[in-house]
Structure formats: structure tokens, C-alpha cells
Structure 1
Amino acid sequence: TYCPTPSHPFSGAGEERDERVEVIFSPSSMVLKLAGSILSDLGRFLGNCFR
């Protein structure tokens, strides 16, 4: 299960994508999952800003 961090403003928007990331990575590699989640959310945020 994915626990969104309160300090991460995009956690709610990226929850659906994080579910898929969790399937790809093993549950033990939480750091990779978190990094991928932040990167995907950051990319989406930047895409919205410059679209």
C-alpha cells in the first residue's frame, strides 16, 4: 500500500501511477519507488506549468 507524505503536495494526484510503480518494483525497494513517484509528479507538474 502507498502512504502519501503530507509534505508531498502531489501525492494525491500520483496515487494511481504509484500503484503501477509498486507492481514493477519489489516492495523492499521503497527508495526507488519514492524517487520514481516524486520524479513522475515533478514531471507532470512541470508539464502543466509549461504547457
Structure 2
Amino acid sequence: MELVLEKVNKLKGNISVPGDKSISHRSLILGSIAQGETRIYNFLSSLDCL
């Protein structure tokens, strides 16, 4: 199997995933380096994520 990836200039959209510690941390990291506004919904509310 061959996979070809092409660079894009912008990504825009919504993604819905269940609240999870790893996903919550990743959403913060990616949101912090993204340009523009990032909104995170259903962020896991546990002491190690806040």
C-alpha cells in the first residue's frame, strides 16, 4: 500500500470525540500552536487536565 500526503495551507472544521485525558492534552497543545481562535468543548474535567 502506498500513501501520498500533500501539504495544505489551512485546515478548518469541527471534530467530535469523547472526553479523554490524552485527547484533552493534545487539543490544548495543538490549539496553542494554531493560528486564530481555538474552541475546545467537552474537555475532560479531572485534576490532571486542569
Under a length normalisation based on structure 2, what TM-score does the superposition of the two structures give?
Answer: 0.30
Looking at both structures, which has the greater relative contact order when contacts are Cα pairs under 8 Å and sequence separation is at least 6? 2
Kindly indicate which of the two structures has a greater share of residues assigned to helix: 1
